[in-house]
Chains A and B, each alone.
Chain A
Amino acid sequence: MTNGKVSPESIRQTKAVLEEIHRITTQPWHIMEICGGQTHAIMEYGLDQLLPEKINLIHGPGCPVCVTSLELIERALQIAALPDVIFTSFGDMLRVPGSSSDLLGARARGADVRMVYSPMDSVRLAQTNPDKQVVFFAIGFETTVPAIAASLLHADKHGLKNFSILPANVLVPPAMQAILQSPDNRVNAFLAAGHVCAIMGYWQYGPIAEKYQTPMVVTGFDPLDLALGILMTVRQLEEGRVEVENAYPKYITRDGNQTAQTMINQVFEPVDRQWRGIGTIPLSGLGLKEVYSHFDASTRFDIQLARLQESPLCIAGSVLRGVAKPSDCPAFGTLCTPTNPLGAPMVSAEGACSAYYRYHKVN
């Protein structure tokens, strides 16, 4: 039996780290946590309420569901609506609105849309339903890619002709660069996402930190991990250092998981990708290499997309770039709620708007 997720000892240590942050902070700093899981944890534990007023946490574009482009969601909806297609996806993509519907709405209208926990579940569905085309919506940051690559290699090995993926994976480092290049950028430092680094390592961040003179600290997800990451970031900023540091050494090495990286590179290659609310970021997505391109659902199914329209009220783009907070949006909590989301950040538990709505509506 456990009461709460965090041990009393960890709570005590977190409070001590927070005190230290208060002690050393002398100037205002804008720190972006890149990952939606971290945004979620910060809000869940109310860490932002315990930081010095001078520290402003900016929530980054790190919700893979939120940044999936309207075009890809519309394509997914149309593929899902085809007869003899079983369309599979991770759960939190199912309620993300396209321009007129979401995948759960498509299911209600008769499409065979199924939630899976792993892309291998989709491959198994393809094996047990040889008369159906099974499509997996390949969303996520670097964290979901190894499992997707492995399932695709498995499908290839077994010569499965009825399995395909709709490639929508996105990469963190190009997004960080895009934010730092933006003219309205306010970010002084990044908390890099621990689980992305567990796979990719953090060797890619050095040149970015150097070029933009922006400290980065690899950070985990527990309150204590987050507090430590913030402390190390503030120390760098206060001392005028620019380094890539690791506040999560128990799980993360500089080089990451080489086996996973090899598998990713075997199947995927970087391509330009459109981010919802942000625009196209060069080489920020993963597309299938030529040799595996026959698994690409976007070419397997002939889909004509009409002109797409975002809700004019939604300021998701500014939220995802860290320029605005969810509470700055006139529709936040009134016209746009988790039950009736106008934009993707209100849907996923990792979306900044959803995290604000769930945890921050207290005032």
Chain B
Amino acid sequence: MDSNFPVMQGPVCPIPISQHQHIVIGHGAGGVLTHDLIRNVFQKYLGNVILNQSNDAALLRMWQEIPEEQNLVVSTDAHIVSPLFFAGGDIGRLAICGTVNDVSMLGAVPKFLTATFILEEGFPISDLEKILVSMAEAAEEAQVKIVAADTKVTEKGQSDGVFISTTGFGWVNRQYQISGQSAQPGDVVILSGPIGNHGIAVAEARGNLGFRSRIQSDIAPLNGMIAALLDAVPDVHVLRDPTRGGLATTLVEIACQSKVTIHLEEESIAVDRDVQSACDMLGLDPLYMANEGKLIAIVPSQSAERALETLRKHPYGQKAVQVGVVESDSEGQLLLKTPLGTTRHLDMLAGEMLPRIC
């Protein structure tokens, strides 16, 4: 029972409870409770001049925001993760960084985000506040504003705590030709750091590992690092973040889109020791584990050194290395050179990654 439940003495009309510690169905009904939740919780953490106007839509004065010779870039992403909190992040940071990064992968500068929250009846408002603090921090770091937001509440059991969908808007210089279709033979494949940390951090938070590790998710907004990279190397061909499906699946996608063969060197792909150990124990492959703060950049070979230098100066790219090359026009395949010098084929992840039995 809520601590502020009214004490009724004598013939009084019971006043409905107005302050809840958990989400109730009324929070989604559009009335007083909804307004209180928006004002006291959402605007408290995410508020800004545009959001706080509380109109049905956000009016963006584009002529002030979009310089000439720029195109608008839009990306949208739904975020569900179980559990909501894990080492190195939570669903809030994920919801901001995921969309900021997607917008950035075309070389755009993300500016505005919208956010939709699906809340489950009974979800603790204190947890919601933690998530909003984390969103506010990530948005601050990424220099983006949340300009429109919506909340719906489902009955208990019809969703899972909180789902967050975000849509991002940004501007891109028209001279950039950055796309998954732009990899060319002779290009160099650069990876911004070690892989697999996010996947293992979430698995651990689920209690799936059966042991404790110190592995933290790598969730990060990559737009700052990408802006620096494009300043130094405007002729980047492909930018992509290897999220679900991991490095291998993402590179197979690029190889297919660009109709090229990509050749990776297994020895150059860094995996933190704890992540490798966890993967070995569980029969998982780091090449297919999710990342949320890593960048694949495919650049012309003459720009590779400059790209590496630039990335390594940034906190999220200190361990950037060349991991492969784009070799030839073909039907789109990804090959991996093993430490023994043999070559094997890498395919997309089929379904979900299931741990091996022994």
- A-side interface residues toward B, CB under 8 Å? 1-6, 8, 11, 14-15, 37, 40, 43-47, 49-50, 64-65, 90-95, 104, 115, 117-118, 121, 139-141, 143-144, 195, 223, 337-339, 348-350, 357-362
With known contacts A46-B344, A117-B282, A91–B272 Cβ distance under 8 A: no
Task: State whether A14 touches B340 (Cβ < 8 A).
Answer: yes
Q: Does A1 contact B194, Cβ atoms closer than 8 Å?
A: yes
Residues of A within 8 A of B266 (CB): 4
How far, in whole Å, are A141 and B351 apart by their CA atoms in the complex?
A: 25
Flag whether B233 is at the interface (Cβ < 8 A). no
**In the complex, are the beta carbons of A45 and B276 less than 8 A apart?**
no
B356 close to A15 (CB less than 8 A) = no
User: Residues of B contacting A141 with CB < 8 Å?
Assistant: 358
Complex CA gap A241/B147 in Å reads 78
**CB closest chain-B residue, reference A195:** B358
* Residue B80 at the chain A interface, CB threshold 8 Å: no
Q: Is the CB of B356 within 8 A of A339?
A: no
Task: Give Cα A52–Cα B271 distance, bound, in whole angstroms.
Answer: 32
Contacts of A37 in B (CB 8 A): 356, 358
CA distance A281 to B351 in the complex (A): 33
Complex contact A3–B340 (CB within 8 A): no
B357 is contacted by which of A2, A121, A350, A362 (Cβ under 8 Å)? A350
B340 touches which one: A1, A46, A64 (CB < 8 A)? A46
> In the complex, which of the residues B319, B341, B343, B351 contacts A362, with contact meaning CB atoms closer than 8 Å?
B343
Question: Within the complex, what minimum Cβ distance (angstroms) separates A173 from chain B?
Answer: 17
Check B357 against A50 for contact (C-beta < 8 Å).
no
Q: Does B54 contact A (CB under 8 A)?
A: no
Collect the chain A residues with CB atoms within 8 Å of residue B272's CB: 1-2
Counting contact residues on chain B (CB < 8 A from A), the size range is: 35 or more
A31 to B110, CA, bound (A): 58
Give the CA-CA distance A50 to B338 in the complex, in Å: 12
Give chain A residues whose Cβ lies under 8 Å from the Cβ of B48.
Answer: none
Q: Within residues 305 to 345 of chain B, which ones have a CB less than 8 A from any CB in chain A?
A: 319, 333, 335, 338-345
- CB-based contact A90/B267 at 8 Å: no
Contact of B338 among A40, A44, A195, A337 (CB under 8 A): A44
Contact B339 A360 (CB under 8 A): no
Are A1 and B273 closer than 8 Å at their CB atoms?
yes
Residues of A within 8 A of B159 (CB): none
B319 neighbours in A (Cβ, 8 Å): 1
Whole-angstrom distance from the CB of B234 to the nearest CB of chain A?
Answer: 31
Please list 14 pairs of residues, one from A and one from B, whose beta carbons are closer than 8 Å in the complex, sorted by A's number. A4-B267, A46-B342, A64-B358, A91-B355, A92-B355, A94-B354, A140-B357, A195-B358, A223-B339, A223-B340, A361-B347, A362-B335, A362-B343, A362-B345
The smallest beta-carbon distance between B230 and chain A, in angstroms, is: 28
Residue in contact with B342 in the complex, picked from A1, A49, A143, A339, CB distance below 8 Å = A49
User: Of residues A1, A144, A337, which shows the largest number of chain B Cβ atoms within 10 Å of its Cβ?
Assistant: A1
Q: Which listed residue (A11, A49, A64, A121) contacts B339, Cβ 8 A?
A: A11
Asked whether, in the complex, the Cβ of B356 is within 8 Å of the Cβ of A117, the reply is no
Once bound together, how far apart are the Cα atoms of A359 and B283, in whole Å?
A: 16
Besides A45-B342, A91-B355, A93-B357, 6 new A-B residue pairs in contact (Cβ under 8 A), listed by A number: A3-B268, A4-B339, A50-B341, A94-B354, A348-B357, A350-B357
Asked if B270 is an interface residue, CB under 8 A from chain A, the answer is yes
**Quick check: B208 and A3 within 8 Å, CB to CB?**
no
B208 to chain A minimum Cβ distance, whole angstroms, is: 6
Of all chain A residues, which has the CB nearest B269? A3
- For residue B280, CB closer than 8 A to chain A, the reply is yes
Note all chain A residues with C-beta closer than 8 A to B357.
64-65, 90-93, 139-140, 144, 348, 350
Q: How far does the Cβ of B224 sit from chain A's closest Cβ, in whole Å?
A: 24
List B contacts of A92 (CB < 8 A).
283, 354-357
Interface pair A50/B340, CB less than 8 Å apart = yes
Asked if B350 CB lies within 8 Å of chain A CBs, one says: yes
Knowing A1-B272, A4-B266 are in contact, say whether A91-B343 is a contact too (CB < 8 A).
no
Once bound together, how far apart are the Cα atoms of A65 and B276, in whole Å? 24
